[in-house]
């Protein structure tokens, strides 16, 4: 049952093969028995889930169920969920129960989905390995010595392990696509502004975007249908019609022009990853696509640019965690300064503090022009790189990450860790959508093919990803977690 | 040495929107603490701001009212600092690209001359909450009802040279925003808060002296007092060989002194940067022109119209146009009686005197503008004379009648204009006062004019004030002259 795709589950529910309660029960018991090894969930909301499942079953009985009614899923613990702890992977918010639902949570609730709980993540979404979580690292279901990627590592691992058919993630510099690649699942980062950010705890506001993580492109399309759209509570969400993303999945790809950015196949790229990605591109050629060599000349500036802009925004976004109104407060503060300092020193982990320091520094008087302003200028050049490339090609393809999943505790140097995002980070700076689809293995470690498309062309992106999944079975591969798997 | 004072002001005007600048919570004053703060105002994780279009429209209209340019693009920025009543750890404000560019505000000085004060810019921002230090036994309470209230901060150039000029500027600003209805202008409730930058320099010197900023001065009177004592402090300091340091000071009206709050070295680095949650505001010509079409007549325009179209003196026009309430009252009274000068005299004379004595604002006048206008109409059509009018006004003030006509009728104050009746009274007065008649006849011709007053007074008395004084005057003169 847990090997089914979301689309299969929806059909099964519609046919009455099983009830939502049975499904939900099944996933809850899998979480119960397997997640001790993976640590992919921070909070499991079993009772809520069963109640929602019963409501969905009742709705179906009375003929009022939508396509996603009764489908279980999980939320990265960055999405506010009313009355349920929303920790953002931080001690700072360990005791925080959100008083409201994020817009996407509200929309998916309205669609009748069942939330199994909240998944583990790098603290405040800062990390590429899920090792910065206050709740301990998540382990990769393919090999528990490996990291699942980050920051949406809990969501990726939970989907890969069949603990949930789908999960929501957020992607600020690759946080959906890189863990999707590491765990062998499909993960979509929509165009900035396509999905409301209201109720998503902010890391870097101009880059954060929520998106679906599931087995297939079709599953992502189903979820995006429910998630996307303008939200009057988010000024940066875009008032633009939402197509039915499942409608165009099967369009033929003949004549598709694929650009291969030469900068994405250079030094530092793991041989096994490169082989898998190049093999995947051959599949497209066999479908009648044309492959063209392109250049994104400012690629090497993406990581330094990101590490100015994201920490700058983060340093401001995280100022609200001051121990005054919610979140961690130190014991017996002697005065206001002591309250601020100790609450923040105790509440935040090392990586979060590092980025707050970087961001505070780059915004400081005398440094602002050299760092933040310059970074914004470079950001426009990076965006222009993509716009120029899309004048010549329909989509861009390359690896989602330079290496497959690495061993836990193996990346002690933060700068080395930042380089993990070399192929994903520019996409956030440009605001375009990107998807990572399973494209084979480097040794025994999954590899993700990243596909990029122009702003707001998620329908086409999903179409291209779906075509690949019709030709390959990488997305059906499962890690063996129990003796009989 | 002769010193010159240089003053610039930053005035925070609370905009009269129903809801906050970035959330839907109410802005009403005086609610129970923290009952008007929603998740956005509390800075909860995950919340986002959405700009209140009404606040934007008010800011644009203010800009148009002071002849400022409205830039095509304006940007909200974050001003980062920690304070317990600042929920997000930053204030959403504007810095590099404010919504209102340079403009000017005319101020009227005591001698009636009009000066233009240049406005550097005006920008939109959110207010913070309030820290409450009383009644928490050594702890501090936070009330976030005010957090997120829209403010328009209006920054002047250092164009003022005296405390009087500074308060005239704030009065002019107060008149503009209340005329436009974009603020209630209630200074006691903090709807207008002034930060005053003060420096002194030797007369004739071009370079500015080092300035001190006096924070949060909240009445016209305190502005003058604060400036006066700060100027005195700075001059004394310099003349004693000291130096003014750039710092923020507080004015204590009880002790009539300013005190240092923090020096420049202790000032925050606010790390301004564009707020990524709010897109740049793009205001096109059509929008700006639409806002222009919504502008009411402004104080300076009204003053001009009162002078040119209604023929009032410059002084009368400027007094009557000084507040929206005063101008509206005057115009309504004028409309009811059809005589601008008569209405102007009464509004500034009898009405203002009674209001001052009772400590009332014109908006609280027990005599409505229409009531006064109807009373004045009866003077104009000779139904009553000026003396009777004062009685009617007093009765209206004391609510002894609904309309002037009712009171005139009930008190029998109707003016006697019947020539025969007046002639009879005049004849009687002449007959009854032979001594005065003789004096009149024997007086030098140029002295006789004054002597008529006696007979007029007697005649008015005999008519119990109801005779038409002009008629009495004319009749007595012709009768006495006939006896010469």
User: Is there a contact between A319 and B277 if contact means CB atoms under 8 Å apart?
Assistant: no
Residues 6+ away with beta carbon under 8 Å from B234: B198, B199, B200, B209, B212, B244
Tokens read off for B250: 């507080």
Whether residue A88 is contained in a domain is answered as yes
| pLDDT confidence bin for B466, thresholds 50/70/90 | confident
User: Is there a contact between B277 and A232 if contact means CB atoms under 8 Å apart?
Assistant: no
**What span, in angstroms and rounded, lies between the C-alpha atoms of A139 and A464?**
30
**pLDDT (0 to 100) of residue B480:** 86
Lowest mean pLDDT, pick from A334-348, B41-55, B400-414: B400-414
Whether residue A218 is contained in a domain is answered as yes
Asked whether residue B165 falls in the same domain as residue B306, the answer is no
**pLDDT (0 to 100) of residue B484:** 77
Residue linked to tokens 């400012």: A298
Q: pLDDT, tens digit, for every residue of B8-20? A: 999 999 999 999 9
The helix-helix angle for B445-462 and B419-432 (nearest 10°) equals 110
**What span, in angstroms and rounded, lies between the C-alpha atoms of A80 and A469?**
33
Whether residue A260 is contained in a domain is answered as no
With 0-12 / 13-18 / 19 or more C-beta atoms within 10 angstroms meaning exposed / middle / buried, residue A359 is buried
Determine contact: B278 vs chain A, CB below 8 A: yes
Q: pLDDT, tens digit, for every residue of B373-428? A: 999 999 998 888 888 899 899 999 998 878 998 888 888 777 777 778 888 888 88
User: CB pairs below 8 Å between A and B: how many?
Assistant: 97
- Edge-to-edge strands of the sheet including B150-156? B103-108, B114-126, B150-156, B3-14, B192-202, B212-217, B247-252, B257-263
CA distance B41 to chain A (A): 12
Tokens read off for A482: 């129990």
Average pLDDT over residues A79-102: 97
A175 is an active site residue: yes
User: Is there a contact between A368 and B271 if contact means CB atoms under 8 Å apart?
Assistant: yes
Angle at B420 between CA B414 and CA B421, to 5 degrees: 40
Whether residue A14 is contained in a domain is answered as yes
Cα of B91 vs its chain's centroid, Å: 30
With 0-12 / 13-18 / 19 or more C-beta atoms within 10 angstroms meaning exposed / middle / buried, residue A114 is buried
A151 is an active site residue: yes
Which residues of B, range 401-460, sit inside 8 Å of A by Cβ?
none
Closest CA to B344 of B327, B366, B359: B327
**What span, in angstroms and rounded, lies between the C-alpha atoms of A446 and A477?**
10
User: Is there a contact between A325 and B78 if contact means CB atoms under 8 Å apart?
Assistant: no
For chain B, the domain total comes to: 3
A319 is an active site residue: no
**pLDDT (0 to 100) of residue B445:** 82
Identify the residue with better confidence: A213 or B463: A213
User: Is there a contact between B276 and A320 if contact means CB atoms under 8 Å apart?
Assistant: no
Cα of B30 vs its chain's centroid, Å: 24
Whether residue A62 is contained in a domain is answered as yes
From A99, A326, A360, residue closest to B271, measured CB to CB: A360
Minimum Cα–Cα distance from B22: chain A residue: A233
Cα of A481 vs its chain's centroid, Å: 23
**What span, in angstroms and rounded, lies between the C-alpha atoms of B192 and B185?**
6
Determine contact: A237 vs chain B, CB below 8 A: no
| pLDDT confidence bin for A196, thresholds 50/70/90 | very high
Burial A406-437 (b: 16+ CB within 10 A, else e): bebeebeeeeebbbbbbbbbbbbbbbbbbbbb
| pLDDT confidence bin for A485, thresholds 50/70/90 | low
Average pLDDT over residues A175-197: 98
Please give the full DSSP string across A411-432, using - where no structure is assigned.
---HHHHHGGGTTTHHHHHHT-
Closest CA to B128 of B153, B92, B154: B92
User: Is there a contact between A201 and B82 if contact means CB atoms under 8 Å apart?
Assistant: no
Which residue of B45, B126, B130, B282 is the best one to mutate when testing the A interface, meaning the one whose CB has the most A CBs within 10 A?
B45
From A99, A313, A319, residue closest to B82, measured CB to CB: A319
Asked whether residue B365 falls in the same domain as residue B306, the answer is yes
Asked whether residue B381 falls in the same domain as residue B346, the answer is yes
- Tell whether the model's pLDDT for residue B140 goes beyond 70: yes
Please give the full DSSP string across A187-234, using - where no structure is assigned.
EEEPPTTTB--TTBPPSSTTT-EEEEEESSHHHHHHHHHHHBS--TT-
**What span, in angstroms and rounded, lies between the C-alpha atoms of A379 and A315?**
19
Enclosing domain of residue A175: 6-253+439-448+458-476
Enclosing domain of residue B445: 419-482
Asked whether residue B269 falls in the same domain as residue B362, the answer is no
Q: Taking every pair of C-alpha atoms in chain A, what is the biggest distance, in angstroms?
A: 71
Alpha helices per DSSP H over B33-138: 53-65
Identify the residue with better confidence: B218 or A172: A172
Cα of B285 vs its chain's centroid, Å: 31
First to last CA, chain A: 12
SS3 A332: coil
Asked whether residue B391 falls in the same domain as residue B464, the answer is no
**pLDDT (0 to 100) of residue A160:** 98
Average pLDDT, chain A: 96
Question: From the candidates A151, A237, A315, A457, which is the catalytic residue?
Answer: A151
Q: Which residues pair with A260 in a beta bridge?
A: A293
Neighbours of A376 (CB within 10 A): 17
User: Is there a contact between A99 and B48 if contact means CB atoms under 8 Å apart?
Assistant: no
**pLDDT (0 to 100) of residue B265:** 67
Q: Which residues pair with A211 in a beta bridge?
A: A169
pTM of the model: 0.89
**What span, in angstroms and rounded, lies between the C-alpha atoms of B247 and B262?**
6
First to last CA, chain B: 71
Determine contact: B45 vs chain A, CB below 8 A: yes
Which residue of B22, B25, B48 is the best one to mutate when testing the A interface, meaning the one whose CB has the most A CBs within 10 A?
B48
Residue B102 DSSP symbol: S
Average pLDDT over residues A270-279: 97
Neighbours of B464 (CB within 10 A): 11
Residues 6+ away with beta carbon under 8 Å from B364: none
Contact A211, A185 (CB under 8 A): no
Q: pLDDT, tens digit, for every residue of B259-318? A: 998 877 677 899 999 999 999 999 999 999 999 999 999 988 999 999 999 999 988 998
SS3 B281: strand
User: Is there a contact between A198 and B46 if contact means CB atoms under 8 Å apart?
Assistant: yes
| pLDDT confidence bin for A413, thresholds 50/70/90 | confident
**What span, in angstroms and rounded, lies between the C-alpha atoms of A332 and A371?**
38
**pLDDT (0 to 100) of residue A481:** 86
Identify the residue with better confidence: B257 or A431: A431
Residue linked to tokens 């691992």: A157
Average pLDDT over residues B157-182: 95
Asked whether residue B157 falls in the same domain as residue B211, the answer is yes
Boundary of a domain, candidates B369, B386, B411: B411
**pLDDT (0 to 100) of residue A54:** 98
- Tell whether the model's pLDDT for residue A381 goes beyond 70: yes
Boundary of a domain, candidates B411, B442, B460: B411
Closest CA to B368 of B312, B414, B321, B325: B325
Asked whether residue B137 falls in the same domain as residue B12, the answer is yes
B212-to-A225, B208, B382 alpha-carbon distances in Å: 59, 12, 61
Average pLDDT over residues A74-99: 97
- What CATH number is given to the structural domain containing A138? 3.90.1300.10
SS3 A477: coil
Boundary of a domain, candidates B255, B289, B323: B289
Whether residue A406 is contained in a domain is answered as no
User: Is there a contact between A316 and B45 if contact means CB atoms under 8 Å apart?
Assistant: no
**pLDDT (0 to 100) of residue A38:** 98
For chain A, the domain total comes to: 1
Asked whether residue B211 falls in the same domain as residue B183, the answer is yes
Which residue of A81, A96, A206, A325 is the best one to mutate when testing the B interface, meaning the one whose CB has the most B CBs within 10 A?
A325
Q: Which residues pair with A74 in a beta bridge?
A: A117, A167
Average pLDDT, chain B: 92
Whether residue A421 is contained in a domain is answered as no
Contact A256, A464 (CB under 8 A): yes
Asked whether residue B429 falls in the same domain as residue B404, the answer is no
**pLDDT (0 to 100) of residue A482:** 78
Whether residue A86 is contained in a domain is answered as yes
**What span, in angstroms and rounded, lies between the C-alpha atoms of A452 and A331?**
49
Question: From the candidates A133, A175, A196, A315, which is the catalytic residue?
Answer: A175
Tokens read off for A240: 């633009």
Determine contact: A482 vs chain B, CB below 8 A: no
């Amino acid at each position: 049952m847990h090997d089914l795709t979301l689309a299969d589950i929806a059909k099964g529910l519609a046919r009455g093969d099983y009830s939502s309660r049975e499904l939900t029960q099944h996933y809850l018991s899998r979480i119960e028995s397997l997640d001790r090894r993976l640590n992919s969930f921070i909070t499991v909301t079993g009772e809520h889930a069963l109640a929602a499942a019963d409501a969905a079953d009742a709705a179906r009985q009375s003929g009022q169920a939508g396509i996603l009614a009764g489908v279980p899923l999980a939320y990265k613990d960055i999405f506010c969920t009313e009355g349920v702890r929303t920790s953002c992977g931080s001690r700072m918010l360990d005791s925080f129960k959100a008083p409201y639902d994020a817009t996407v949570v509200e929309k998916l609730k309205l669609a009748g989905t069942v939330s199994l709980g909240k998944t583990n993540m790098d603290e405040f979404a800062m990390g590429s390995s899920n090792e910065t979580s206050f709740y301990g690292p998540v382990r990769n279901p393919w090999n528990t010595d490996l990291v699942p990627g980050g920051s949406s590592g809990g969501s990726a691992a939970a989907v890969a392990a069949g603990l949930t058919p789908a999960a929501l993630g957020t992607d600020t510099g690759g946080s959906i696509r890189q863990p999707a690649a590491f765990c062998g699942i499909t993960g979509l980062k929509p165009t900035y502004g396509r999905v409301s950010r209201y109720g998503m705890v902010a890391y870097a506001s101009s880059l954060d975007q929520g998106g679906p993580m599931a087995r297939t492109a079709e599953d992502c399309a189903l979820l995006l249908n429910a998630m996307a759209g303008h939200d009057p509570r988010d000024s940066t969400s875009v008032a633009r019609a939402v197509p039915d993303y499942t409608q165009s999945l099967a369009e033929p790809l003949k004549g598709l022009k694929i650009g291969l950015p030469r900068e994405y196949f250079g030094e530092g790229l793991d041989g096994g990853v490169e082989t898998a990605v190049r093999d995947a591109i051959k599949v497209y050629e066999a479908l009648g696509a044309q492959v063209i060599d392109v250049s994104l000349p400012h690629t090497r500036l993406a990581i330094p640019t990101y590490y100015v802009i994201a920490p700058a925004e983060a340093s401001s976004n995280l100022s609200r965690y001051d121990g005054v109104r919610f979140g961690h407060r130190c014991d017996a503060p002697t005065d206001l300064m002591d309250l601020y300092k100790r609450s923040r020193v105790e509440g935040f982990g090392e990586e979060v503090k590092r980025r707050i320091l970087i961001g505070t520094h780059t915004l400081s008087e005398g440094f602002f022009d050299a760092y933040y302003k310059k970074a914004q200028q470079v950001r426009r050049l990076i965006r222009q790189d993509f716009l120029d490339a899309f004048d010549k090609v329909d989509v861009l393809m390359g690896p989602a990450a330079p290496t497959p999943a690495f061993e836990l505790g193996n990346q002690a140097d933060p700068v080395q860790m930042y380089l993990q995002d070399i192929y994903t980070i520019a996409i956030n700076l440009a605001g375009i959508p990107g998807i990572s689809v399973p494209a084979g293995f480097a040794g025994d470690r999954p590899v993700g093919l990243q596909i990029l498309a122009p702003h707001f062309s998620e329908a086409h992106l999903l179409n291209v990803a779906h075509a690949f999944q019709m030709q390959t079975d990488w997305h059906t591969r499962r890690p063996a977690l129990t003796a009989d798997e | 040495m002769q010193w010159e004072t240089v003053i610039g002001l930053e005035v925070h005007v609370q905009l009269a929107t129903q809801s906050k600048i970035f959330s839907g919570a109410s802005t009403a004053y005086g609610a129970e603490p923290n009952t008007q703060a929603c998740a956005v105002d509390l800075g909860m994780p995950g919340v986002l701001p959405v700009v209140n279009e009404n606040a934007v429209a008010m800011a644009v209209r203010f800009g148009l009212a002071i002849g400022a340019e409205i830039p095509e693009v304006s940007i909200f920025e974050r001003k980062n600092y920690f304070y317990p009543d600042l929920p997000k750890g930053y204030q959403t404000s504007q810095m590099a690209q404010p919504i209102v560019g340079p403009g000017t505000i005319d101020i009227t000085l005591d001698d009636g001359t009009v000066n233009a004060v240049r406005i550097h810019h005006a920008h939109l921002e959110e207010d913070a909450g309030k820290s409450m230090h009383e009644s928490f036994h050594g702890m501090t309470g936070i009330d976030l009802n005010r957090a997120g209230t829209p403010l328009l901060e209006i920054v002047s150039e250092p164009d003022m040279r005296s405390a009087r000029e500074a308060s005239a500027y704030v009065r002019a600003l107060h008149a503009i925003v209340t005329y436009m209805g974009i603020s209630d202008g209630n200074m006691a409730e903090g709807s207008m808060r002034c930060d005053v930058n003060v420096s002194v320099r030797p007369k004739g010197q071009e370079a500015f002296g080092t300035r001190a900023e006096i924070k949060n001065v909240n009445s016209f009177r305190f502005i003058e007092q604060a400036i006066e004592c700060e100027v005195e402090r700075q001059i004394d300091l310099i003349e004693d060989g000291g130096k003014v340091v750039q710092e923020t000071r507080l004015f204590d009206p009880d002790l009539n002194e300013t005190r240092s709050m923090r020096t420049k070295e202790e000032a925050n680095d606010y790390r301004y940067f564009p707020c990524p949650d709010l897109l740049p505001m793009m205001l096109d010509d059509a929008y700006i022109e639409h806002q222009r079409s919504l502008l009411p007549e402004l104080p300076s325009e009204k003053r001009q119209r009162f002078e040119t179209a209604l023929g009032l003196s410059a002084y009368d026009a400027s007094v009557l146009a000084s507040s929206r309430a005063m101008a509206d009252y005057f115009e309504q009274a004028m409309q009811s009686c059809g005589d601008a000068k008569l209405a102007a005299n009464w509004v500034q004379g009898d009405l203002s005197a009674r209001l001052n004595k009772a400590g009332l604002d014109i908006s609280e006048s027990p005599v409505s503008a229409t009531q006064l206008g109807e009373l004045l109409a009866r003077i104009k059509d000779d139904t009553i004379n000026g003396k009777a009018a004062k009685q009617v006004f007093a009765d209206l003030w004391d609510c002894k009648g609904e309309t002037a006509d009712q009171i005139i009728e009930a008190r029998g104050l109707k003016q006697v204009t019947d020539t025969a009746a007046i002639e009879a009274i005049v004849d009687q007065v002449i007959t009854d006062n032979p001594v005065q008649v003789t004096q009149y006849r024997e007086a030098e011709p140029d002295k006789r004019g004054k002597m008529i007053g006696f007979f007029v007074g007697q005649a008015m008395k005999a008519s119990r004030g109801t005779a038409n004084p002009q008629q009495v005057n004319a009749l007595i003169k012709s009768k006495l002259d006939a006896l010469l």
